[in-house]
Amino acid sequence: MRNVLLKIQYDGSAFHGFQVQKEDVTVQQTLQDALVTLFGQPVTVTGCSRTDSGVHALWYVAKVTFNGNIAVEKIPYALATVLPKQLSVIDAAECDEDFHPRYDVVSKTYIYRVYVGRFLNPFESGYSWHCKFPIDVDKMNKAAACFVGKHDFKGFMASGSSVTDTVRTVSDCSVERFGDILQISITADGFLYNMVRIIAGTLVEIGGGKIDENDLPCIIASGIREKAGITAPAHGLFLAKVDYGKDVFSKDER
């Protein structure tokens, strides 16, 4: 059996998340079906993250296990002939049998996009959260720095999640403005369920003056979900990078 890592991009609007479900179209199912069409045999697909319905990916890593002699660099081209236009394989590389795309992650980076234009922008509406109230980016940035470090993020996890170890280390959290887009970037060794969307919602509420930025350290320390901000909508969220602490793909990519 061969083990190959795929670097993929997808428009989350077209999928009900990554993981296979009974009824709905998911990334994993679409990828599996394409691989079966291509190789004429069952293929196992393991993802680096269970992204939610509607969440987008600029850099997602999936491991596929199959029999076949296709040259690894030809896999993205071959898959392009059978995949829908909302899903693209942009790199492929052989990997060890025991490499796990989720458990071997050293850090992941998410981007959350907020659109602050006065009116709806038809080209942004599927790829950002439209916030029409005045937002202070400096306040957001000062608050973002409070998330950096090793913290118990219990208050920034969707209620109902069964995870018990809620300590995560955030290595970067910052906000940049590009025209009418605010881009929140966050890198951590792992994320709790809805953690980025709750952090984004909290930062936007701080920027909008609904939550006082000076209260944030206490809000984090409290571990109480209700004290944090709202959960920002899924369609503003992008998985932007998956880091394994080493180059798992070829270096010659454009």
Tell me whether residue 103 or residue 123 sits nearer to a second copy (CB atom).
123
Query: Is position 80 an interface residue for a second copy (rule: CB under 8 A)?
Result: yes
- Window contacting a second copy (CB under 8 A); options: 28-36, 78-86, 167-175, 204-212: 78-86
CB of 235: closest distance to a second copy in angstroms?
Answer: 11
Q: How many angstroms from the chain centroid is the CA of residue 177?
A: 20
Burial (Cβ within 10 Å: 0-12, 13-18, ≥19) of residue 191:
buried
Query: Is position 115 an interface residue for a second copy (rule: CB under 8 A)?
Result: no
Tell me whether residue 42 or residue 126 sits nearer to a second copy (CB atom).
126
Query: Is position 163 an interface residue for a second copy (rule: CB under 8 A)?
Result: no
Residue identified by tokens 């179209």 is 25
Q: Catalytic residue, from 11, 24, 33, 52: name it.
A: 52
User: Does the annotation mark 52 as catalytic?
Assistant: yes
Query: Is position 56 an interface residue for a second copy (rule: CB under 8 A)?
Result: yes
User: Catalytic residues, which ones?
Assistant: 52
Residues that bind a second copy (CB under 8 A): 9-11, 56, 76, 80, 85-90, 117-123, 125-127, 180, 254
